[in-house]
Amino acid sequence: MARKMDYKNIKLVGLTAKISPELGKNFTILSEILSTYGVEILAENSVAKALNLKGYELKDLALKCDFIISLGGDGTMISVCRKCAKFSPFVLGIHAGTLGFLTDITMSEAPKFFSEFFSGRYEVEEPFMLDVILSKKDGEITHKIAFNDATIMRFKPASIAIVDAFLNGKFFNSYFGDGIIISTPVGSTAYNMSAGGSIIYPLSEVFALTPICSHSLTQRPVVLPRGFMVEFRAYKDEILVLDGQDTFKMSSYESVKIGLSTTKARLIRHVGRDYFQILKEKLRWGQQ
């Protein structure tokens, strides 16, 4: 059973971060803020090494700490959620620079946010992730999780990706072109959007299949509900890329099955976070 957030009794907070020249200063600021609430920060190994502190494995932080701070950009937060999916920790994304789609709190806003948080004024969003099940011909199964998307794409620039799709065991489609993106709702504003896929509200229980530069104008994005599994097979040099971070050769596997997982991320948000306002600001909607 997933742990519940007990904001009144938080003692340990994990920290993972993108290594940058500002890391030391930001760590000091966060340590000073949290210490006023009786909270200690434990640093993930790479952060600890950069700051000459005692370090911990990320999975140990997920088990030991009340929540994990991801300090950096959206990519840092995605990596934390994927690697810790088994433990389903609470994750707070703090952007060290400007506003991100996922990391909507900046360092300058941290004092105000924690003041509200430790008064019980916060929200937790639980977007669904993707189950990615890779099957070899000898029966070996590998299970992975994707936060934003799983993309099957051509490996060589001059080649064409050919991907067959089977929906709940029945042949569904053949995709010819640069590949196909399988996106979560929260990932719909990433690669999916750039390929012409729909923007989907992050807490929706659906996932999207979006062709990349299809060689047929009749190939269009498709949105499917939770409970559907799509099996993909590719036969040449196509690769599978998860969240732009992990890569697998499709030729090494008989197939890969992808669908919306029962596993969710648990993202700590400030009260009143307006997803559509973020869309307007990031995509400059309404501006001429």
Site of tokens 């088994």: 86
Q: Is 191 annotated as a binding residue?
A: yes
One-letter-per-residue 3-state SS of 128-194 = EEEEEEEECCCCCEEEEEECCEEEEECCCCCCCEEEEEEECCEEEEEEEECEEEEECCCCCCCHHHH
- How far is Cα 29 from Cα 31, in angstroms, rounded to an integer? 5
The answer to whether residue 74 is catalytic is: yes
Q: Is 192 labeled as ligand-binding?
A: yes
State the CB neighbour count (10 A cutoff) for residue 169.
8
Tell me which of 6, 60, 74, 104 is the catalytic residue.
Answer: 74
190 is in an annotated binding site: yes
186 annotated among ligand-binding-site residues = yes
Q: How open is the CA angle 94-99-31, to the nearest 5 degrees?
A: 20
Q: What are the structure tokens assigned to 134, written together?
A: 């890779």
Q: Which tokens is 220 given?
A: 């269009």
Task: Supply the residues annotated as catalytic.
Answer: 74
Binding residues: 74-75, 148-149, 178, 186, 189-194, 245
Binding residues for NAD(+): 74-75, 148-149, 178, 186, 189-194, 245
